[in-house]
Amino acid sequence: MDIISDIREQYSSLTRTQKRIADYVLGYADTACFQTLKDWSRITGVSEATILNFCTRFACKNFLGMKQELQRYVKSWISPNEKLKRGSSQLTLDEATLQELMDMEKSNLEKTFSYLNREQFLRFIEELKDADRIHVVGHGISAPVAMLLKNRLQQAGAQVNTAMNILDYHEVIYEIADSGPNDLFIVISFPNYAQQTIGLVRYLQSIKAKMICITDKASSPIAASARATLLCSTESMLFYNSLASVVALVNLIASALVLDSENKERFAKRTAQLERLEEAMKGTFE
- Report pLDDT for 106: 93
Query: Virtual CA dihedral for 110, 116, 118, 124, nearest 10 degrees?
Result: -120
CATH code: domain 3-91 is 1.10.10.10
**43-52, 64-73, 134-143, 165-174: least confidently modelled range:** 165-174
- Sequential DSSP letters for 1-42: --HHHHHHHHGGGS-HHHHHHHHHHHH-HHHHTTS-HHHHHH
Report which secondary-structure segment, H or E, holds 121: helix 118-130
**36-40, 128-132, 156-160, 231-235: least confidently modelled range:** 156-160
**In this structure, what are the phi and psi dihedrals at residue 185, rounded to the nearest 5 degrees?**
-105, 125
Segments of the chain assigned to CATH 3.40.50.10490: 114-280
Average pLDDT over residues 122-129: 95
**32-41, 129-138, 155-164: least confidently modelled range:** 155-164
Segments of the chain assigned to CATH 1.10.10.10: 3-91
Overall pTM > 0.75: no
pLDDT in tens, 78-88: 666 666 676 77
Cα(70)–Cα(245) distance, integer angstroms: 21
Cα(212)–Cα(132) distance, integer angstroms: 14
pLDDT in tens, 205-246: 888 999 999 998 888 888 888 999 999 999 887 787 889 999
Structure confidence at residue 76 as a pLDDT band (50, 70, 90) = low
- Report which of 164, 120, 123, 161 is spatially closest to residue 142, judged by C-alpha positions: 164
- Return the percentage of the chain with pLDDT > 70, whole number: 95
Q: Which residue has the higher pLDDT, 190 or 228?
A: 228
Is residue 198 within 8 Å of 221, Cβ to Cβ? yes
Structure confidence at residue 90 as a pLDDT band (50, 70, 90) = confident
- Report which of 145, 33, 148, 41 is spatially closest to residue 100, judged by C-alpha positions: 33
Range picked from 89-103, 183-197, 243-257 for highest mean pLDDT:
243-257
What is the fold of 114-280?
Rossmann fold (3.40.50)
Structure confidence at residue 284 as a pLDDT band (50, 70, 90) = low
User: Reduced to 3 states, what is the DSSP secondary structure of residue 173?
Assistant: helix
Report which secondary-structure segment, H or E, holds 198: helix 195-206
How far out from the chain centre does Cα 150 lie?
Answer: 17
Distance between terminal CA atoms of the chain?
59
